[in-house]
Amino acid sequence: MAAVPAGFKIRLDPQDEYTHTPDAALNYNESMYFNMFDPVKKIGGWFRIGNRPNEGYAEMTTCLYLPDGRVAFMYAKPKITDNKQLAAGGMKIEVIEPFKRLRVTYDGKAVVLTNPHDMAEPSKAFRNNPTLTCKVELDYEGVSPMFGGETVKADGSPLDIDPEKSFAKAHYEQHVAATGRFTVGDEVFEVSGFGLRDKSWGPRYWQAIHWYRWCPMNFGRDFGMMLSIVAGEQGEPRQGGMVLKDGKYDLIKEVSIDSDWDENWYQTALRAHIKTESGATYDVEGKVLSLIPLRNRRQAADGSELNTRITEGMTEYRCNGMVGYGLSEYLDQIVDGKPVSVGR
């Protein structure tokens, strides 16, 4: 479990793998996310459903990193009327056994991008690239303990949350193994590898965080990491995450990430230094193999437009002589055309 301040505790039950009764907040979100990367074929992908039942729609994303740097991508906001299941827009997430076995399927379309950076302008990207049939069939197995849950008061009562400033009231993660296949048009890719999954529920606006770095990675079944740096507009960024080693999590107490950028301020490489609660230290180098930029826009109460950018890079990692794969996900609010974290 993650560290928690005095006077609070973290609650996580097997039932949390299923959907919850939504809060009254208009922006209530309940989402599951999965990624996986095949270390032999060097392909992978990530998948997300986020129900927003009080707003009447879900957010569904499928993203596949294919050979030669191509990316197959689809995003949709299908209508939903309740929060009874995570199944919308052709994607379905099934809990076979809580914390141990889950299944992710997708049956729909995907735009295939030879240059994934085209997605910086979504309407043009969808118009100028081919859209093909796409199927995903993946069986997931938990290979680690659970990390996180819902932070509550010591007596078990929920925290008081301002929905306007919330990203989630509960969040947990787990390193996983996955096997299955991707089908894009006439191409079929049998895959087997490792990844990370998470679940969140509670009020969410993507603009509630000023910027973050989130780097999940696996070097095999028994060694993986998740590096996290999260910044608000005020105060010092929060550093955290965990190292999976020999079936146990060693929590990260300090992490620094130094990034290289291209002309668009997309990450191309990174170097991380990690210190854990057990006293272990790690140095990790990452090279971005393929990156797709995504965005979320919302109008503020004063009429101004809030613009959030999330760059999703399939990344090859190296640590202690081992090579692994995962994601480097960088979220930034964009102000005057630049990510707010530039120079940090």
Per-residue pLDDT reduced to its tens digit, 190-224: 999 999 999 999 875 656 688 999 999 999 999 99
CA distance 322 to 32: 29
The pLDDT score that the predictor gives to residue 288 is 98
pLDDT at 151: 75
Cα 232 from Cα 102, distance rounded (Å) = 33
Helix or strand (DSSP H, E) at 123? helix 122-128
Per-residue pLDDT of 226-283, as tens digits, reads: 999 999 888 789 999 999 998 999 999 999 999 999 999 999 999 999 999 999 999 9
Amino acid residing at 330: Y
Question: Percentage helix, strand, coil, to 5, in the chain?
Answer: 5, 60, 30
Element (H, E) at 125: helix 122-128
Residue 205 pLDDT: 64
Domains and CATH numbers, the chain: 22-204 (2.40.370.10), 206-344 (2.40.370.10)
At residue 204, the pLDDT reads: 56
CA angle 110, 111, 117 (to 5 degrees): 130
